[in-house]
Amino acid sequence: MADTLIKQARIFDGSTDTSFIGDVRIKDGVVQKISKTELSPNSGETVVDAKGLWLTPGFIDFHTHYDAEIEMAPDLSESVRHGVTTISLGSCSLSLAVGDPTDLADMFSRVEAIPRKNVLSILESKKNWNSASEYKNHLNSMPLGPNVTSFAGHSAIRAHVMGLERSLTKGENPTKQELEKMNQHLEEALDAGFMGLSINTLVWDKMDGSRFRSRPLPSTYANWSEYEYLNKTLRKRGKIFQGVPNVSTKINVLMFLKEAFGIFRKPLKTTVISLMDVKFDPGLYKLLNVIGRITNTIFRSDFKFQALPEPFDLYADGMDVVVFEEFAAGAKANHIEDELERKQLMKDPTYRSWFKRQWTNWFLPRVFHRNFKETKIVDAPDKSLIGKSIDEVAKEKGVHSVTAFLDLVAEHGNKVRWYTVMANHRKEPLQKIVSYPDILIGFSDAGAHLRGMAHYNFPLRMLKLVQDAELEKKPFMTMEKAVHRLTGEIGDWFGIDAGYIKEGKRADLVLIDPTKLDDSLAKDVEAPMPFMEDFKRWVRRNDETIKKVYINGKLAIDQGKPVPALGKEKGYGSFLASTIGR
């Protein structure tokens, strides 16, 4: 492991303390010295001239779905190249720690929009563990790129204990013995260093495969007494309850708030997705902020919404995007695996009428804006369509926009690709959201929705948001606070030994060129997946912004590119056990 001296960088240590120009010496994987006066190089030391650059702690992405990808590509370079040095697995009730490979593939694939055949192939060839401790040991046996933390996934545990079919049957509750067994798996996970439990109550997250296709995930079939039983363990041990509310009901989130309450009892650390400025409901983010404040002040809770510091944009191939799961007609189309059969459905008059009624019904619960004026076609067999909105296509043909959309999918299937922005489209509300005390900056979903979402570089977009305001002489947050929200604040709340530059601590560091925190951060490309033949995912690349990334003192990214050893050699990342509670 080469020793390194980084000279004359602007150092942000991960706290809210004022940044300063200084030198940092890395030796044997740790930060040996931080100095405001220049240090002289030691013999054999690699010297990095960092004048004009920012040095920050490695960023923490606490909400990913890299559970499958990490098995085949442990470098996870799509996140590391943007300065992320610690990621978390096991979100949204999905985890690979326990369970049958086929069951896990069926749970994981459709929800996270990853081809099932690839997930199943990975699990069948790799899975030789069936407990949290074995899974942790397995992760540590791999040449990890970033550090890894994890939640225990409720869907996986429930299916493993009850059997997949019973776990997916309405009204089928676990026996007392099964509840105790679930809790035993949770205790084992916490003993192994997992951060807590993740659950999912969102019924438009559906199963894949042929056995129980289109049923909601096992976690959604649980009643709140089941969650409360498991939460007793989390509360007792000071661990974290992570959840996905059922956004279709709007009031479901109140149950998560109730669990977090700390009046007459110990508060339960709780985090849910997600606080956004959604186009459909422009005042919702304000209401959620008030709810979060009341929960944490009056009810003495420790509750956090997750929030992204960038526009929440989506790509869709035909109808293949998660937002169509929020209403029955869209879910019916996504239930059909065969593209030819789905095209035929698009032509069926009865279906078309049903789809149109639901799409235009303002009284049905929704999160997506369902406005075809807000779309842009980016690819199609008919190249004359590219650059137009679906609404413009409809006007050219003299038909309703829903009719035009169904015609496009009926004719071209998944070969018509379109883009839209669902939320966080307004600058000032976004600035307010990332400033709220009751949010955590994260929720990238990295490793999932491979064709539809690309939030891998969200930390850099947070820094750009803050720097742009400074340049406009309308600052709303210090840069020190922005870095803290991406590093130390997350590490502290989740109990992760990461997020700070301190002497004696592991050297997870990022060198950033602040002049490249520009519009290039929004540039998107399609990049081949390293282990999926002929499959391309949507990503963002901004190689000029990140100069170097160090993980455990080892150079992982050099001039925006992964070094050859990343994901091949050990000595970079490792499993980080939770440091909070007991």
Render pLDDT for 243-275 as a digit per residue (tens, 0 to 9): 999 987 778 899 999 999 999 999 999 999 999
pLDDT, position 363? 79
Render pLDDT for 332-378 as a digit per residue (tens, 0 to 9): 999 998 889 999 999 999 999 999 999 999 877 788 999 999 999 99
**Counts for the chain of helices (H) and strands (E), in that order:** 20, 23
Give me 554's structure tokens. 């080892």
Residues 159/167, Cβ–Cβ less than 8 Å: yes
pLDDT, position 150? 99
pLDDT, position 72? 94
- Asked if the model's pLDDT at residue 173 lies above 80, the reply is yes
pLDDT, position 238? 98
Q: Report the distance separating Cα 363 and Cα 160, nearest Å.
A: 38
pLDDT, position 221? 98
Containing 491, the helix (H) or strand (E) segment is helix 488-494
pLDDT, position 204? 82
Residues 314/367, Cβ–Cβ less than 8 Å: no
Interior/surface letters 504-537, b for 16+ CB within 10 angstroms, e for the rest: eebbbbbbbbeebbbeebeeeeeeebeebeeeeb
pLDDT, position 367? 87
Q: Report the distance separating Cα 179 and Cα 207, nearest Å.
A: 23
Q: Report the distance separating Cα 502 and Cα 525, nearest Å.
A: 36
Render pLDDT for 306-319 as a digit per residue (tens, 0 to 9): 999 999 999 999 99
Render pLDDT for 420-460 as a digit per residue (tens, 0 to 9): 999 999 999 999 999 999 999 999 999 999 999 999 999 99
Render pLDDT for 33-49 as a digit per residue (tens, 0 to 9): 999 999 999 999 999 99
pLDDT, position 113? 81
- Asked if the model's pLDDT at residue 2 lies above 90, the reply is no
Rounded to 5 degrees, what are φ and ψ at 303? -115, 135
- Asked if the model's pLDDT at residue 493 lies above 90, the reply is yes
Rounded to 5 degrees, what are φ and ψ at 185? -60, -40
What torsion, rounded to 10 degrees, do the Cα atoms 556, 560, 561, 567 define?
30
Reading phi first (left if > 0) and then psi (alpha if -120 to 50, else beta), residue 357 is in: alpha
What single-letter DSSP state applies at residue 19? P
Mean pLDDT calculated for residue range 72-80:
97
Q: Report the distance separating Cα 54 and Cα 313, nearest Å.
A: 28
* Residue 290 pLDDT grade (very low, low, confident, very high; cuts 50, 70, 90): very high
Give the number of other Cβ atoms within 10 Å of residue 556's Cβ: 28
What single-letter DSSP state applies at residue 174? P
* Residue 400 pLDDT grade (very low, low, confident, very high; cuts 50, 70, 90): very high
Domains of the chain by residue range: 318-420
Strands (E) across 50-203 are located at: 54-57, 59-61, 84-89, 147-150, 152-153, 196-200
Reading phi first (left if > 0) and then psi (alpha if -120 to 50, else beta), residue 262 is in: alpha
Residues 84/459, Cβ–Cβ less than 8 Å: yes
Q: Report the distance separating Cα 503 and Cα 14, nearest Å.
A: 13
pLDDT, position 553? 98
* Residue 233 pLDDT grade (very low, low, confident, very high; cuts 50, 70, 90): very high
SS3 of residue 248 by DSSP: coil
Looking at every residue in the chain, the average pLDDT score rounds to: 96
What single-letter DSSP state applies at residue 40? P
pLDDT, position 562? 98
Instruction: Give the length of the chain.
Output: 582
pLDDT, position 208? 95
Residues 377/418, Cβ–Cβ less than 8 Å: yes
Residues 455/444, Cβ–Cβ less than 8 Å: yes
Render pLDDT for 529-543 as a digit per residue (tens, 0 to 9): 878 878 899 999 999
Rounded to 5 degrees, what are φ and ψ at 175? -70, 170
Containing 314, the helix (H) or strand (E) segment is strand 312-317
